[in-house]
Amino acid sequence: MKIGIIGAGNIGGSLTRRLRALGHDVSVANSRGPHTLTALAEETGATPVHATEAARGAEVVVVTIPLKNIPDLPSGLFDEAAEDAVVVDTNNYYPKERDGRIAEIEDGLPESRWTERHLGRPVVKAFNGTYADDIVERPRPVGDPERIAFPVAGDDPRAKRVVRDLMEEMGFDTVDAGGLDESWRQQPDTPVYGLRGDVEQVRKALAAASPERPAAFRA
Ligand X SMILES: NC(=O)c1ccc[n+]([C@@H]2O[C@H](COP(=O)([O-])OP(=O)(O)OC[C@H]3O[C@@H](n4cnc5c(N)ncnc54)[C@H](OP(=O)(O)O)[C@@H]3O)[C@@H](O)[C@H]2O)c1
* Residue ranges in contact with ligand X by CB under 6 A: 6-12, 29-32, 51, 64-67, 69, 72-73, 90-92, 127-128, 130-132
Q: In this complex, which beta carbon is closest to ligand X, that of residue 128 or of residue 174?
A: 128
Q: In this complex, which beta carbon is closest to ligand X, that of residue 14 or of residue 173?
A: 14
Q: In this complex, which beta carbon is closest to ligand X, that of residue 84 or of residue 104?
A: 104
Report which of 74, 88, 53, 70 is spatially closest to residue 164, judged by C-alpha positions.
88
Residue least distant from ligand X (Cβ): 9
Shortest gap between Cβ of 56 and ligand X (angstroms)?
15
Shortest gap between Cβ of 215 and ligand X (angstroms)?
18
Q: In this complex, which beta carbon is closest to ligand X, that of residue 143 or of residue 197?
A: 197
